[in-house]
A = this chain, B = another copy of it.
């Protein structure tokens, strides 16, 4: 490795001061154009790399943003949030920031342990990806640190929030099923588990209400326990003509269950999902679903974070990003 090249090394070589080098490399005023170019060239030749830590210390900014994902969302085959992280990292990069991923393990969440990247001041702010406990949200409120919540909403969270428009997404999806002639429509999801599921359920319910359809409680099927772990689906004896699933993964499980019971999709029962993740493409038939706009949500979240960093006093806001319906083959048209 050898010693690192510093601004002083460049300055010495060129017979100028390190202040001038700093100005030139940062395109600040107060350096002659000719000298500036010469300094930049020399820096390149010498393989100069800026020491972010010196800069960070001086400016009190880390140019890093933490991305916190609760452990239970990052395990197993669940790839959705990791894809989110990827887009976040990319967007952050365009602002000259880096993303540091921190998987928040369940113990730390329960015991209200803050991420090490926070305790070590490695990050200027944190993006919270996925629902965390109310107690943890309270903790985050207390520390008075730039936070943006992503993909879930909690009324206690006093910070910027970016969510998918779950309500209207599911509302539109249910409207579509009704247009297709369905009137017996079930919902799969634990409506107490997350506010996302709740909102999707309410969008579904609104559509039923508007069309004067009755909400049959037998058709509302739980899919997970309080911790978010999926459970075996308890289907009603008499099936509706369509099931609205709170997410593609559950739709996938439902369709597999149907297959094993000899029930055909969509002939015997239509199924729609939400998220447009990998599960939507691996079912047979492929799922009609609502696409979460991960890219747009990531951009929005990063924008909010950056603007929060620039202006700490800005009032926090909540942004809903529209999803869009993706039509595939899992819905049967009962009318033309």
Contacts and interface: CB of A to CB of B under 8 A. Distances in A.
Nearest to A82: B82
Nearest to A62: B53
A96 B121 contact: no
For this complex, into which size category does the number of interface residues on chain A fall? 35 or more
Contacts of A52: 53, 62, 120-122
A74 interface: yes
Contact of A53 (B53, B101, B102): B53
Number of copies: 2
B121 A79 contact: no
A98 interface: yes
Contacts of A53: 52-54, 56-57, 62, 121
A46 interface: no
A1 interface: yes
Interface in A206-240: none
Contacts of A85: 82, 101
A113 interface: no
Given A57-B54, A79-B79, A144-B1, A98 B86 contact: no
Interface in A253-277: none
A216 B222 CA distance: 52
Given A100-B99, A103-B86, A312 B51 contact: no
A242 to B, nearest CB: 23
A86 B71 CA distance: 10
A315 interface: no
Interface in A36-68: 49-54, 56-57, 60, 62-64
A265 B330 CA distance: 24
Contacts of A49: 118-121
Given A51-B57, A99-B101, 12 more contacts: A49-B118, A52-B53, A53-B54, A53-B56, A53-B57, A63-B120, A79-B79, A79-B82, A79-B278, A82-B82, A93-B102, A282-B282
7 contacts: A49-B121, A52-B120, A53-B56, A86-B103, A93-B102, A98-B100, A99-B100
